[in-house]
C-alpha cells in the first residue's frame, strides 16, 4: 500500500480501493480470481478515522460540555454533488437529541417513499417510520425492541460487551410478486431473536396509534449469535453480522431460519462485523470496525499502527433489495 493510502486512506477511499483491487488482480491467476468470488475478500484496511472540528475551541467545548443537535433525516442527491434535497428534524417526542441514537435505515420506495429507522436509544428504543409524502414521522415501541435478558456479556476481541443494546439492525425484503407487500426484519444488538412485521402495518399511523399493530409482530427465530447490521438482497437472502463469531450469517426468507448458514468467519480480521452495502456488480461489501473498543470506557484510546477498520467484498451475483 502506498504511504498516501496508509495514512490518509479515509480521505482518498475510492483511489485506495481501486489501487488495491488492481494490484490484487494483477497478481492473481484466473482461477484465484474465481475462488475469491466465493469468499469474503479483504479489499481495504486503515488505522483510524480523522474527525475534524472547525476550531480548537469547538473541540474543547464538545469534549467538556457535550454538544447536542436535533436528530435529523437528510436526503442527498449524489448525482448533483450531494445537494440536500430534504432535511427533516424529528420531534423530541419521537427521538431526543440527548439520548436518541438513530442507527440503521432502510428505504421503501412504494407509496411515495418511506424510511424505517432504528432508534438504538437505551432510554426510548423503537422503530421510526418516516413518510416523505406527508413529511412526518411516527414511532413504534414494543418489548421486542428492547435488549434481551442475557443478551449482553459476549466477548469480541478480548473485550466483554456489557452495554444495554436494544433494536439495532434492520432489513427490508423485496416486494412480493403479487401483493407488492414488503416485510421488515429487526433485531436487538443484545439479543438473539429475529422479528418481522409487514410494512403495510408500519405505514398505517392510525393502526400504530391504536396499539393493535403489535399483533402483527412475528417471531422468526433465534440466530446463531447477536447481530449488528443486516442487509437483504433482491432475491430474499438476508445477510447479518455475527460479531461474537467474527463472521456473517446468511438466510433466505422463503425457508426456515434453522436453514441459515455462516458464510464467513475470521477471528483475526473480522473483529466486530458491523454493516453492509451492495454495489451494482453483484458484490456485497462488509465493514468491520472494532467499534466495541470505542464503546468501552476502560479501553485506552490512542493512535497506533494497528488496523482498526476493514472493508471486505463478497460476490453474490445479486443486487440490493432496492432493485427488486
Question: How far is Cα 288 from Cα 83, in angstroms, rounded to an integer?
Answer: 29
**Sign, Cα dihedral of 292, 294, 300, 305:** positive
**Mean pLDDT of all residues in 186-207:** 97
- Residue reference for cell 422479528: 195
User: What pLDDT, on a 0 to 100 scale, did the predictor assign at position 31?
Assistant: 47
pLDDT band at 28 (very low <50, low <70, confident <90, very high): low
User: What pLDDT, on a 0 to 100 scale, did the predictor assign at position 50?
Assistant: 61
User: What pLDDT, on a 0 to 100 scale, did the predictor assign at position 175?
Assistant: 92
Residue 76, Cβ neighbours under 10 Å: how many? 13
pTM of structure: 0.86
- In total, the chain counts a number of residues equal to 324
Q: Within 13 Å and on the Cβ side, how many CA atoms surround 254?
A: 8
| Assigned CATH for 68-323 | 2.120.10.30
DSSP secondary structure of 258-296: GG-EEEEE-TTT-SSEEEEEE-TTSEEEEEE--HHHHH-
pLDDT band at 11 (very low <50, low <70, confident <90, very high): very low
Question: How far is Cα 20 from Cα 137, in angstroms, rounded to an integer?
Answer: 42
**Mean pLDDT of all residues in 258-279:** 97
Q: Which three cell numbers stand for residue 277?
A: 452495502
Question: How far is Cα 174 from Cα 259, in angstroms, rounded to an integer?
Answer: 20
Angle in degrees, CA 61, 62, 64, rounded to 5: 65
| pLDDT one-digit tens code per residue, 126-175 | 999 999 999 999 999 999 999 999 999 999 999 999 988 999 999 999 99
Mention every residue, 6+ apart, whose C-beta is less than 8 A from residue 179.
none
Question: How far is Cα 251 from Cα 110, in angstroms, rounded to an integer?
Answer: 25
Please write down the long-range contacts of 1-10, taking CB distance under 8 Å and 24 or more positions apart. Answer: 5/46, 6/46, 6/47, 7/47, 9/44, 9/46, 10/46, 10/48, 10/49, 10/50
Euclidean distance between the first and the last CA atom of the chain, given in angstroms as a whole number: 37
User: What pLDDT, on a 0 to 100 scale, did the predictor assign at position 117?
Assistant: 98
For residues 315 and 66, the model is more confident at 315
Question: How far is Cα 41 from Cα 266, in angstroms, rounded to an integer?
Answer: 11
**Sign, Cα dihedral of 34, 14, 234, 196:** positive
Percent of the chain with pLDDT over 90: 69
Question: DSSP character for 206?
Answer: H
Q: Which three cell numbers stand for residue 194?
A: 429475529
Percent of the chain with pLDDT over 70: 82
Residue 92 in this model has a pLDDT that exceeds 80: yes
Q: Which three cell numbers stand for residue 85?
A: 434535497
Residue 15 in this model has a pLDDT that exceeds 50: no
User: What pLDDT, on a 0 to 100 scale, did the predictor assign at position 156?
Assistant: 95
Angle in degrees, CA 319, 320, 324, rounded to 5: 85
Q: In 27-55, which positions are buried (b, 16+ CB within 10 angstroms) versus exposed (e)?
A: eeeeeeeeebeeebbbbbbbebeeeeeee
SS3 99: coil
Contact 300, 307 (CB under 8 A): no
- Residue reference for cell 433525516: 73
Question: How far is Cα 14 from Cα 308, in angstroms, rounded to an integer?
Answer: 18
Residue 217 in this model has a pLDDT that exceeds 90: yes
Highest mean pLDDT among 27-31, 53-57, 100-104 belongs to 100-104
User: What pLDDT, on a 0 to 100 scale, did the predictor assign at position 26?
Assistant: 54
pLDDT band at 56 (very low <50, low <70, confident <90, very high): low
pLDDT band at 119 (very low <50, low <70, confident <90, very high): very high
Amino acid at each position: 500500500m502506498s504511504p498516501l493510502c496508509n495514512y490518509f486512506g479515509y480521505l482518498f477511499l475510492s483511489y485506495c480501493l481501486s489501487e488495491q483491487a488492481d494490484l490484487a488482480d494483477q497478481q492473481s491467476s484466473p482461477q484465484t480470481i474465481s475462488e475469491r468470488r466465493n469468499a469474503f475478500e479483504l479489499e481495504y484496511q486503515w488505522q483510524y478515522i480523522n474527525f475534524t472540528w472547525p476550531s480548537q475551541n469547538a473541540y474543547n467545548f464538545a469534549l467538556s460540555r457535550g454538544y447536542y443537535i436535533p436528530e435529523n433525516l437528510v436526503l442527498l442527491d449524489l448525482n448533483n454533488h450531494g445537494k440536500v434535497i430534504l432535511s427533516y428534524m424529528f420531534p423530541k417526542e419521537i427521538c431526543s437529541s440527548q439520548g436518541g441514537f438513530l442507527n440503521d435505515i432502510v428505504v421503501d420506495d412504494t407509496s411515495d417513499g418511506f424510511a424505517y429507522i432504528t432508534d438504538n436509544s437505551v432510554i426510548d428504543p423503537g422503530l421510526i417510520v418516516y413518510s416523505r409524502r406527508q413529511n412526518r414521522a411516527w414511532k413504534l415501541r414494543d418489548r421486542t425492541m428492547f435488549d434481551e435478558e442475557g443478551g449482553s456479556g459476549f466477548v469480541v476481541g478480548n473485550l466483554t460487551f456489557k452495554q444495554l443494546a436494544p433494536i439495532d439492525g434492520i432489513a427490508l425484503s423485496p416486494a412480493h410478486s403479487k401483493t407488492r407487500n414488503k416485510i421488515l426484519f429487526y433485531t436487538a444488538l443484545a439479543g438473539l431473536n429475529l422479528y418481522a412485521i409487514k410494512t403495510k402495518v408500519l405505514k398505517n399511523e392510525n393502526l400504530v396509534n391504536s396499539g393493535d399493530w403489535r399483533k402483527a409482530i412475528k417471531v422468526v427465530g433465534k440466530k446463531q449469535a447477536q447481530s449488528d447490521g443486516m442487509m437483504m438482497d433482491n432475491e430474499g437472502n438476508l445477510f447479518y453480522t455475527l460479531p461474537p463469531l467474527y463472521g456473517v450469517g446468511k438466510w433466505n426468507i422463503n425457508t426456515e431460519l434453522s436453514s441459515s448458514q455462516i458464510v464467513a468467519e475470521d477471528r483475526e480480521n473480522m473483529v466486530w462485523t458491523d454493516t453492509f452495502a451492495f454495489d451494482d456488480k453483484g458484490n456485497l461489501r462488509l465493514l468491520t470496525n472494532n467499534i466495541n473498543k470505542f464503546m468501552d470506557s476502560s479501553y485506552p484510546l490512542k493512535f497506533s499502527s494497528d488496523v482498526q477498520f476493514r472493508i471486505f467484498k463478497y460476490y453474490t451475483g445479486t443486487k440490493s433489495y432496492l432493485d427488486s
